[in-house]
A and B are shown apart, each in its own frame.
Chain A
Amino acid sequence: MKLMIDRNALLRTLSHAQSVVERRNTIPILANVKLDVANGQLSVAATDMEIGLVEITAADPASESGSATAPAHTLHDIVRKLPEGSQVELVLDAEAERMIVRAGRSTFQLAVLPTADFPSLADGDMPVGFNMAARDLRLLIDRTRFAISTEETRYYLNGIYLHPAEHDGVSVLRAVATDGHRLARAEAPLPDGAAEMSGVIVPRKTVGELRKLLDEAGDGDVAVSVSETKIRFTMDGVILTSKLIDGAFPDYERVIPVGNNKFAQLDRQAFKDAVDRVSTISTEKSRAVKLALQPGTITVSASNAEAGAASEEIEADYDDTAMEIGFNSRYLLDIANQMEGDIAELAFADPAAPTILRDKADASALYVLMPMRV
Chain B
Amino acid sequence: MSIRRLPSGLVNRIAAGEVVERPAAVVKELVENALDAGAGRIDVTLADGGRAMVRVADDGRGMTADDLTLAIERHATSKLPDDDLVHIASLGFRGEALPSIGAVARLTLTSRTADADSAWRIQVAGGDVSGPEPASRAAGTTAEATDLFFATPARLKFLRAPKAELQACLDVLRRLALARADVAFTLADDGRTLLSALPVAGGLIDARVERAAQVIGRDFARHAMTIQAEREGVTLSGHASAPGYDRANGLAQNCFVNGRPVRDPVLLAACRAAYADILPRGRFPATALFLDIPAEEVDVNVHPAKTEVRFRDAGLIRGFVISSLKHALGRAGFQTGPAASGAALGAWRPEARFDPRPSGAAVGRAYAFQEPGAGFGGLPPSARPEPPAAAEPSPEHPLGAARAQLHANYIVAQTATGIVLVDQHAAHERLVYERLKAARARGEVPSQMLLIPEVVEIDASAAAALVAEAPALRALGLTVEAFGPGAVLVRETPAALGEADVQALIRDLADEVQASGGAEPLSERLDAVAATIACHGSVRSGRRLTQPEMDALLREMEATPNSGRCNHGRPTYIELDIADIERLFHRR
- Specify the chain B residue showing the minimal Cβ separation from A252: B452
Asked if A71 is an interface residue, CB under 8 A from chain B, the answer is: no
Asked if B492 is an interface residue, CB under 8 A from chain A, the answer is: yes
Asked if B496 is an interface residue, CB under 8 A from chain A, the answer is: yes
A181, B500: Cα distance in complex, Å: 11
Task: Report whether A368 and B439 are in contact in the complex, using a CB–CB cutoff of 8 Å.
Answer: no
Interface string of B374-395 (1 = CB under 8 A from A): 0000000000000000000000
Which of B23-31, B125-133, B240-248, B441-449 participates in binding chain A? B441-449
Total CB contacts across the A-B interface at under 8 A: 71
- Specify the chain B residue showing the minimal Cβ separation from A282: B446
A305, B446: Cα distance in complex, Å: 13
- Specify the chain B residue showing the minimal Cβ separation from A284: B496
Contact A250-B452, Cβ < 8 Å, known A151-B501, A305-B439, A372-B446: yes
A149, B452: Cα distance in complex, Å: 13
Inter-chain contacts of A250 with B (CB < 8 A): 452
Task: Report whether B499 and A286 are in contact in the complex, using a CB–CB cutoff of 8 Å.
Answer: no
CB-contact partner of A180 in B435, B452, B496, B533, under 8 A? B452
Task: Report whether A178 and B451 are in contact in the complex, using a CB–CB cutoff of 8 Å.
Answer: yes
CB-contact partner of B451 in A153, A255, A286, A306, under 8 A? A255
A286, B446: Cα distance in complex, Å: 8
Please give the distance in Å from A370's CB to the nearest CB on chain B. 4
Interface string of B470-501 (1 = CB under 8 A from A): 00000001000000000000001001101111
A269, B286: Cα distance in complex, Å: 60
Residues of A296-337 at the interface with B, using a CB-CB cut-off of 8 Å, are 304-306, 326, 328
Task: Report whether A285 and B498 are in contact in the complex, using a CB–CB cutoff of 8 Å.
Answer: yes
Task: Report whether B500 and A151 are in contact in the complex, using a CB–CB cutoff of 8 Å.
Answer: yes
Inter-chain contacts of B496 with A (CB < 8 A): 284-286
Please give the distance in Å from A269's CB to the nearest CB on chain B. 26
A255, B453: Cα distance in complex, Å: 10
Asked if A167 is an interface residue, CB under 8 A from chain B, the answer is: no
Task: Report whether A179 and B449 are in contact in the complex, using a CB–CB cutoff of 8 Å.
Answer: no
Asked if B361 is an interface residue, CB under 8 A from chain A, the answer is: no
A370, B496: Cα distance in complex, Å: 15
Contact A286-B448, Cβ < 8 Å, known A180-B454, A305-B439: yes
Please give the distance in Å from B477's CB to the nearest CB on chain A. 8
Task: Report whether B501 and A352 are in contact in the complex, using a CB–CB cutoff of 8 Å.
Answer: no
Interface range for A: 20 to 34
Interface string of A20-63 (1 = CB under 8 A from B): 00000000000000000000000000000000000000000000
Asked if B504 is an interface residue, CB under 8 A from chain A, the answer is: yes
A149, B500: Cα distance in complex, Å: 11
Inter-chain contacts of A181 with B (CB < 8 A): 448, 450-451, 499
Inter-chain contacts of A354 with B (CB < 8 A): 451
Please give the distance in Å from B476's CB to the nearest CB on chain A. 12
Asked if B514 is an interface residue, CB under 8 A from chain A, the answer is: no
- The dominant DSSP class at the A interface is loop
Inter-chain contacts of B492 with A (CB < 8 A): 373
Task: Report whether B449 and A370 are in contact in the complex, using a CB–CB cutoff of 8 Å.
Answer: yes
Asked if A74 is an interface residue, CB under 8 A from chain B, the answer is: no
Inter-chain contacts of B533 with A (CB < 8 A): 284-285
Asked if B503 is an interface residue, CB under 8 A from chain A, the answer is: yes
Task: Report whether A370 and B451 are in contact in the complex, using a CB–CB cutoff of 8 Å.
Answer: yes
Inter-chain contacts of A370 with B (CB < 8 A): 448-451
A284, B477: Cα distance in complex, Å: 14
CB-contact partner of B447 in A149, A153, A368, A372, under 8 A? A372
Interface string of A168-183 (1 = CB under 8 A from B): 0000000000111111
- Specify the chain B residue showing the minimal Cβ separation from A179: B499
A306, B533: Cα distance in complex, Å: 14
Residues of B482-540 at the interface with A, using a CB-CB cut-off of 8 Å, are 492, 495-496, 498-501, 503-504, 529, 533
Inter-chain contacts of A153 with B (CB < 8 A): 501, 503-504
- Specify the chain A residue showing the minimal Cβ separation from B479: A373
- The dominant DSSP class at the B interface is mixed
Interface size on B, residues (CB 8 A): 25
Inter-chain contacts of A372 with B (CB < 8 A): 446-449, 495
- Specify the chain A residue showing the minimal Cβ separation from B443: A305
Which of A150, A151, A286, A374 is most buried by chain B, counting CB atoms within 10 A of its CB?
A286
Contact A285-B503, Cβ < 8 Å, known A181-B450, A372-B449: no
Task: Report whether A285 and B450 are in contact in the complex, using a CB–CB cutoff of 8 Å.
Answer: no
CB-contact partner of B452 in A178, A352, A371, under 8 A? A178
Asked if A17 is an interface residue, CB under 8 A from chain B, the answer is: no
Inter-chain contacts of B451 with A (CB < 8 A): 178, 180-183, 255, 354, 368, 370
Please give the distance in Å from A179's CB to the nearest CB on chain B. 5
Task: Report whether A305 and B495 are in contact in the complex, using a CB–CB cutoff of 8 Å.
Answer: no
Task: Report whether A328 and B443 are in contact in the complex, using a CB–CB cutoff of 8 Å.
Answer: no
Inter-chain contacts of A374 with B (CB < 8 A): 444, 446
Asked if A288 is an interface residue, CB under 8 A from chain B, the answer is: yes
Residues of B421-459 at the interface with A, using a CB-CB cut-off of 8 Å, are 435, 439, 442-444, 446-452, 454
Inter-chain contacts of B529 with A (CB < 8 A): 285
CB-contact partner of A255 in B446, B452, B495, B498, under 8 A? B452
A371, B446: Cα distance in complex, Å: 10
Interface string of A259-287 (1 = CB under 8 A from B): 00000000000000000000000001110
Task: Report whether B435 and A284 are in contact in the complex, using a CB–CB cutoff of 8 Å.
Answer: no
Task: Report whether B495 and A286 are in contact in the complex, using a CB–CB cutoff of 8 Å.
Answer: yes
Which of B452, B454, B501 is most buried by chain A, counting CB atoms within 10 A of its CB?
B452
CB-contact partner of A288 in B446, B449, B450, B501, under 8 A? B446
Task: Report whether B442 and A305 are in contact in the complex, using a CB–CB cutoff of 8 Å.
Answer: yes
A370, B435: Cα distance in complex, Å: 29
Task: Report whether B435 and A306 are in contact in the complex, using a CB–CB cutoff of 8 Å.
Answer: yes
Inter-chain contacts of A178 with B (CB < 8 A): 451-452
A182, B448: Cα distance in complex, Å: 10
Task: Report whether A373 and B449 are in contact in the complex, using a CB–CB cutoff of 8 Å.
Answer: yes
A182, B495: Cα distance in complex, Å: 13
A151, B179: Cα distance in complex, Å: 51
Please give the distance in Å from A256's CB to the nearest CB on chain B. 9
Inter-chain contacts of A183 with B (CB < 8 A): 451
A284, B439: Cα distance in complex, Å: 10
Inter-chain contacts of A373 with B (CB < 8 A): 444, 446-447, 449, 477, 492
Contact A326-B499, Cβ < 8 Å, known A180-B452, A306-B435: no
A52, B499: Cα distance in complex, Å: 30
A308, B150: Cα distance in complex, Å: 75
Task: Report whether B439 and A306 are in contact in the complex, using a CB–CB cutoff of 8 Å.
Answer: yes
Inter-chain contacts of B447 with A (CB < 8 A): 372-373
- Specify the chain B residue showing the minimal Cβ separation from A256: B451
Residues of A355-374 at the interface with B, using a CB-CB cut-off of 8 Å, are 368, 370-374
- Specify the chain B residue showing the minimal Cβ separation from A150: B499
A45, B443: Cα distance in complex, Å: 56
Please give the distance in Å from A257's CB to the nearest CB on chain B. 10
- Specify the chain B residue showing the minimal Cβ separation from A353: B449
Please give the distance in Å from A332's CB to the nearest CB on chain B. 13
Please give the distance in Å from A56's CB to the nearest CB on chain B. 40
- Specify the chain B residue showing the minimal Cβ separation from A368: B451
Task: Report whether B452 and A288 are in contact in the complex, using a CB–CB cutoff of 8 Å.
Answer: no
Inter-chain contacts of B448 with A (CB < 8 A): 181, 286, 328, 370, 372
Contact A180-B499, Cβ < 8 Å, known A153-B504, A370-B450, A373-B449: yes
Interface string of B537-564 (1 = CB under 8 A from A): 0000000000000000000000000000
Inter-chain contacts of B498 with A (CB < 8 A): 285-286
A-B contact pairs, 25 of them (CB 8 A): A151-B500, A153-B501, A153-B503, A180-B450, A180-B452, A180-B454, A180-B499, A255-B451, A285-B495, A285-B529, A285-B533, A286-B446, A288-B495, A305-B439, A306-B439, A328-B448, A354-B451, A370-B450, A370-B451, A372-B447, A372-B449, A373-B444, A373-B446, A373-B492, A374-B446
Among all A-B residue pairs, the 8 with the closest Cβ atoms: A286-B495, A370-B449, A374-B446, A370-B451, A373-B447, A151-B499, A285-B496, A288-B446
With contacts A149-B499, A151-B500, A370-B451 known, what are 9 further pairs, Cβ within 8 A? A151-B499, A180-B452, A180-B499, A285-B496, A285-B498, A285-B529, A286-B446, A306-B439, A373-B492
Q: Which residues of A contact B (CB under 8 A)?
A: 149-151, 153, 178-183, 250, 255, 284-286, 288, 304-306, 326, 328, 352, 354, 368, 370-374
